[in-house]
Amino acid sequence: MKYFKLILTLTLLSNIAFAQKVNIKKAFKHAEKQTAVMLTEVEKAKAKTTNKKLVSPRTIEKGELKLVASRDWTSGFFPGVLWFLHENNKKNNTWFTEAKKFTADIEEEKTNGTTHDMGFKVYCSFGTGYRLTNDPHYKDVIIQSAKTLMTRFNPKTGVILSWDHSRDKWVNPVIIDNMMNLELLFAATRLTGDSSFYKVAVTHANTTMKNHFRSDYSSYHVIDYDPNTGAVLKKNTHQGYFHESAWSRGQAWALYGYTLCYRETKNPAYLAQAENIAKFYLNHKNLPEDLVPYCDFDSKKIPNEARDASAAAIVASSLYELSAYTPDKKSYYQQKADKMLHSLSTKYIAPVGEAKGFILLHSTGSAPSNSEVDVPLNYADYYYLEALLRKRQLK
């Protein structure tokens, strides 16, 4: 009987391990087919509008492909998707040609100082392109974009201002998403040798670590600062259901942000922060079995709440990188990321030829605002492909 139970246990474990394998080659073939559809759909959408500033696909709205201008915070993700496809398959020159074309559409953002989203817009497009091409023009755009982002840093608060809007709600709002833009500043230090970019990045990371997190390492979405004293005025969760709830994509931005900060600085405090954020996320009682979270961990609608595939993609990508810095938890983090990718590549994948060419389904932008609920989103596709590439690099 004991022998039978042992065999059964080993068989079950073997089946689980097999089920969580991700076929990277198959996943990229699917992504290529979908993106070919997307390129056609983009041209159709552009033909329907007289607004020449609409350059990047963001989501599907009322059955139609929604294009956004370069100033939109999501504009850089589709160029990044094209660069990832080029990285995976350099034999197909289409991806290189299209990546260059869609990336060029984002360049005017390098001097747009009205937003903190410079990393999302420019680093995901020009930054990814520069990593693959070493194009000196891309380098110049990255540096100029970093200089523009620096103008939003306030030494009194120790953080980079996020939003210029909603002044009726906040005086000096800083969102957890802003951690993602620090990668641009670290890159600018490497490219110029100017440490001022680095200093602002670590100051922002340190201040955020001090003020954005609860005792369980979950993160608020928005912290409002007094711009003259640096005092914290409010702690809110704008895209969650209530201020003390854990908005799942916010936790994903936090994990990714502190993992990249450790990569760039080797400061053990950032590694510890990333691991604690991962622990909160992975051990949460409301994390579904397939590891694709509800849009808010504390939603009262669970289990009838919308999922957020984008959060799972961001976390999976983060965990693959984090596993490289934590030998004692390497296998654990990789297994969790594998399970997330397996879920995304099987249960959340768009059928070939459908969804206007988006790769993943079932992401959520802001459920409390009833905005982009259970739809494809370009940043879900971006981080999904990045996670696939990171998994292959680990091999």
Is 11 assigned a ligand-binding role in the annotation? no
- Asked whether residue 196 is marked as a ligand-binding residue, the answer is no
- Is the separation of the CB atoms in 279 and 258 below 8 Å? no
Of 36, 227, 71, which Cα lies nearest the Cα of 148?
Answer: 71
Buried b (16+ CB within 10 A) or exposed e, 9-36: eeeeeeeeeeebebebeebbebbbebbb
Whole-angstrom distance, CA of residue 89 vs CA of residue 355: 23
**Which of 105, 177, 296, 308 does the annotation list as catalytic?**
177
Please check if 177 is assigned to a binding site. yes
- Among 72, 117, 296, 308, the one annotated catalytic: 117
The C-alpha angle 352, 353, 359, rounded to 5 degrees, equals: 60
What's the rounded Cα separation, in Å, for the pair 117 and 115? 6
Contact 33, 357 (CB under 8 A): no
72 is catalytic: no
How many Å separate Cα 10 from the centre of its chain?
36
Provide the pairing of β-strand 173-175 with 159-160: unpaired
Q: Which helix (H) or strand (E) segment is 55 a member of?
A: strand 54-61
**Angstrom distance (rounded) from CA 52 to CA 389:** 33
- Residue 249 annotated as part of some ligand binding site: yes
Helices and strands: H and E segment counts in the chain: 14, 7
Q: Is 177 tagged catalytic?
A: yes
Residue 323: closest CA among 305, 342, 336: 336
Taking alpha carbons only, the member of 298, 273, 258, 281 closest to residue 332 is 281
- Residue 40 annotated in ligand binding: no
Q: Rounded CA gap, 295 and 176, in Å?
A: 16
d(CA 343, CA 328): 25
Residue 369 marked in a binding site: yes
> Is 35 annotated in some ligand binding site?
no
Q: How far is CA 104 from CA 121, 148, 319, 360, in A?
A: 12, 18, 31, 25
Rg (CA), the chain: 21
Binding residues for substrate: 117, 177, 237, 249, 253, 366, 369
Catalytic site residues? 117, 177
